[in-house]
Amino acid sequence: MTDSFAPFLFDQDDPARRGEAHGEQWRAEIRELAEIRAALALKKGSFRDRAQLDAVARLHLPLLDNFSAPLSAELRGIARGADVAPEAVVVLNHYTDLRDVPPSVLEGPCPEDPVVSDSFHALNTNGDGDDPGGCTAVYLPGQDAPVLGQTWDMHGTAEPFVRAIRIKPRSGDDEVVCFTLTGCLGMTGVSARGLAVTINNLTSTDGQVGVVWPALVRAMLACGSAREARDLLLRTRLSSGHHYMIADGREFYGVETSGKLKVVTQTGARAAHLHTNHCFDPVLRRHEAVPKASTSFRRMELATTLYVQQRPQDARALWTMLSSHDGWPRSVCSHIDDAGGDPSASKTCGRMIVDLTRGEVLVGRGCGQLEPPTVVKLDRWRGGHVP
Ligand SMILES: [Zn+2]
């Protein structure tokens, strides 16, 4: 049966109430996913046991309170609605970063000054050689409309929990559409002002206690322009590495980060940009540990070749490109879990592509070739700038 991927609407004005509604809506799913991600963090991170993982997760709550009271209220609301501890929602949201945070942060005098050792961490990360998952992100200037989109590749066991959400408070004129997981504030999305953000995970060796990254994504989406979102990113304390693509039709920025460093590596809305899960910047490369099993370099090659062959000019063409099975199972639409029989191996769990002129989003769960994208319009769209 075709599973429509229409976004679930949260129209509450109050962030705490919005979070509670989210938590109540998907209580069973949130509880299950929090357990799956805690087990994976214990397997792939350096934590002694669940109590230590929870303690490290808890260190992130005061930082979130200081970063954004509304987003902290929403996350804590999700926990109340789902009847779990707030740190369980931190684990669910921040899992890919938590894997890179050494437990030694618990020994520091305070989370503002964590003790981090690169050598300690390098010995303890991804020792089982799994592909930690990734994503393939693409920005196109397009013929008449810039387009920003990505696959979302992660542990295949996350696929049933993938959702689209529309946050559209009854008061005011805000609206964001996000691709996310049950219990997560949002992983990639677009605002009614025409600002979109995508994410690639990077595996850093200088992990620290930082702002829960989906909260940062939502805060960036609340900015008035790509430049403002870039500046917010550059001044925010992070936990671990990501590559952020930020576009508003007028401007484009690609920013690579590790836990402690940030570098703008791509600019220019008139050029196409691609990124997977390894750093381009030579300094940042010294603070990353791409796992041997990662498909990042291979997907970068495949995506570059597909881009040259197909020259996609619009959102649908990018959907086709990001659904490619060339090189299956280690393809851009990744199916490693099918090939290896390990359900927690990496796979493409969905994709989201934004037409930055029309305020139209193509979004879907799972393999891009199995069902057509769900088309979502932002109701309060007032973007549509042409670079
Ligand atoms: Zn596929």
Amino acid sitting at position 320: T
Q: How far is the CA of 60 from the centre of ligand 1 (A)?
A: 35
CB 226 within 8 Å of CB 356:
no
Q: How far is the CA of 63 from the centre of ligand 1 (A)?
A: 38
Distance between CA atoms of 283 and 262, rounded to whole angstroms?
10
Q: Which residues, in sequence order, are CB contacts of 209 under 8 Å at separation 6+?
A: 56, 59, 60, 63, 101, 105, 111, 114, 239
CA 72 to the chain's CA centroid: 18
The whole-number pLDDT of residue 132 equals: 64
CB 102 within 8 Å of CB 121:
yes
Q: How far is the CA of 31 from the centre of ligand 1 (A)?
A: 28
Q: How far is the CA of 369 from the centre of ligand 1 (A)?
A: 6
Q: How far is the CA of 151 from the centre of ligand 1 (A)?
A: 10
Q: How far is the CA of 326 from the centre of ligand 1 (A)?
A: 10
The whole-number pLDDT of residue 188 equals: 97
Q: How far is the CA of 334 from the centre of ligand 1 (A)?
A: 6
Q: How far is the CA of 249 from the centre of ligand 1 (A)?
A: 29
Q: What are phi and psi of 295, to 5 degrees?
A: -95, 10
Q: How far is the CA of 371 from the centre of ligand 1 (A)?
A: 10
Q: How far is the CA of 325 from the centre of ligand 1 (A)?
A: 6
Positive or negative: CA dihedral 103, 288, 40, 38: positive
Distance between CA atoms of 87 and 34, rounded to whole angstroms?
10
Q: How far is the CA of 195 from the centre of ligand 1 (A)?
A: 28
Both structure tokens of 288: 């990353």
Give me the residue label for tokens 């829960």. 212
The CATH architecture of the domain made up of 137-377 is 4-Layer Sandwich (3.60)
Q: How far is the CA of 332 from the centre of ligand 1 (A)?
A: 8
Q: How far is the CA of 327 from the centre of ligand 1 (A)?
A: 11
CA atoms within 13 A on the CB side of 257: 27
Q: How far is the CA of 324 from the centre of ligand 1 (A)?
A: 7
Q: How far is the CA of 142 from the centre of ligand 1 (A)?
A: 24
Q: How far is the CA of 313 from the centre of ligand 1 (A)?
A: 21
Q: What is the pLDDT along the chain (387 residues), one digit of tens a residue?
A: 345 799 999 999 999 999 999 999 999 999 999 999 999 999 988 999 999 999 999 999 999 999 999 999 999 999 999 999 999 999 999 999 999 999 999 997 554 444 333 333 333 343 344 666 689 999 999 988 899 999 999 998 999 999 999 999 999 999 999 999 999 999 999 999 999 999 999 999 999 999 999 999 999 999 999 999 999 999 999 999 999 999 999 999 999 999 999 999 999 999 999 999 999 999 999 999 998 888 999 999 999 999 999 999 999 999 999 999 999 999 999 998 777 777 778 899 999 999 999 999 999 999 999 989 999 999 999 998 655
Q: How far is the CA of 130 from the centre of ligand 1 (A)?
A: 20
Domain with CATH 3.60.60.10 in the chain: 137-377
Q: How far is the CA of 135 from the centre of ligand 1 (A)?
A: 13
The whole-number pLDDT of residue 50 equals: 97
Q: How far is the CA of 347 from the centre of ligand 1 (A)?
A: 9
Q: How far is the CA of 302 from the centre of ligand 1 (A)?
A: 14
Q: How far is the CA of 301 from the centre of ligand 1 (A)?
A: 17
C-alpha Rg value of the chain to the nearest Å: 19
Q: How far is the CA of 358 from the centre of ligand 1 (A)?
A: 27
The whole-number pLDDT of residue 385 equals: 64
Q: How far is the CA of 205 from the centre of ligand 1 (A)?
A: 31
Distances (CA, A) of 91 to 11, 61, 146: 25, 11, 34
CB 373 within 8 Å of CB 163:
no
Q: How far is the CA of 294 from the centre of ligand 1 (A)?
A: 18
